[in-house]
Amino acid sequence: MTRQTSPIYLDHNAGAPLRASVREAMIEVLGDAGNASSVHAHGRKARGRIEQAREQVARLCGARNRAVTFVSGGTEANMMALTQSWRDQGTPVYLDKLFRSAVEHSSVVTGGRFPVSDQVVLPVDSNGVVLLDALDEMLSGKEPSLVSVMAANNETGVVQPLAKIGAVVREHGHFLHVDAVQAAGRLPIDLEEWQADAITLSAHKFGGAQGIGAVVVRSTGRVPAPLMIGGGQENWQRGGTENVAAITGFGVAAEAALEEASDLGHLNMLKSRLESGLRAVCPATVIFGEETQRLANTSCFAVPGIAAETALIAFDLENVSVSSGSACSSGKVAVSHVLTAMGIDETLARCTLRISMGWNTGEEDVDRFLEIWPRIVDRLNPEARTRAA
């Protein structure tokens, strides 16, 4: 078997390749000395870079510059936002419960700083969309609480109706957190339309560096209690010397992502091409979430009888990187909690693969995938080629 020598990367939802413009900006910063908290020229230069990046990230979110707090990544950002202790116009506020959807990222599933006893799971429909009637009923008459719903799912790409969710949350007097990690660069982000009190971002999902993220609030008067205290960095919201190089790269990536989010035609075309090809190879292909809005870059699918683990190994041997809808824990593959919440049968869930594209994905990558896929199917389960949908 002839293997493709040049690698194909179709796992942007796990982490996008670093953009060349980001790399160049970061290398330039790494050549300079200076702590952004210092008052001398070197320190002021570092501070200027951070504030420029803060403006760029704020623009990506339609937020004010001072609304952006830089942290170490999406997980820390979620941990910071998911707290019972907030301040609203200078007054301490204690939030009673955490209501989070059944399909959240694992960093939200853990509940952040909320004890397990104060966490409530919101149900979803068969596409993984939060049930608005259930949300309305569960929030009615409750003490002020925090609701956490992701903008778009990392496994299926399903987009939540955030404007409607935000309206329900606001009507009942609660706070809203949106994990927008997968949305940045793939959807317009609008805190006002969503009525979100805080959103969280991670730079490496759209071509920035790993290890840098942000919490962005709608109002600088309503903020979560700091997770990491120390010095006065980040307006006293996150202690510790800033990672100037990564923050600078974050800003550059945010500018590129904002431009890409304004025209998703290329990614939509690639996804349509991919999914038409999948069904041409195997008519029985199941595409999760296809009955609702999904990200332009994500396709989560399964072919009954073809185990995801085996298919992933076969693709890796062909130098193609894709991922599974399953999560690995301690070397053991478990069925995705997202698919379980959607009511997907466990046997089918274990066959799930995810293709996620991004800024450097081209038609040739999709075509190469569709060239390899029939050969893998023929080796693993040739009957799947003729099985009806």
Helix 265-281 × helix 363-380 angle, to 10°: 20
Q: Nearest-CA neighbor of 130 among 342, 348, 354? A: 342
Q: Which of 61, 282, 300, 328 is catalytic?
A: 328
How big is the chain, counted in residues? 389
Tokens of 286: 């199941």
| Residue 152 identity (one-letter amino acid) | A
Catalytic-residue membership of 328:
yes
Helix H, strand E, coil C: the string for the chain is CCCCCCCEECECCCCCCCCHHHHHHHHHHHCCCCCCCCCCHHHHHHHHHHHHHHHHHHHHHCCCHHHEEEECCHHHHHHHHCCCEEEECCEEEECCCEEEECCCCHHHHCCCCCCHHHEEEECECCCCCECHHHHHHHHCCCCCCEEECCCECCCCCEECCHHHHHHHHHHCCCEEEEECCCCECCECCCHHHHCCCEEEEEHHHCCCCCCCEEEEECCCCEEECCCCCCCCCHHHCCCCCCCHHHHHHHHHHHHHHHHHHCCCHHHHHHHHHHHHHHHHHCCCCEECCCCCCECCCEEEEECCCCCHHHHHHHHHHCCEECEECCEEECCEEECCHHHHHCCCCHHHHCCEEEEECCCCCCHHHHHHHHHHHHHHHHHHCHHHHCCCC
Catalytic residues: 328
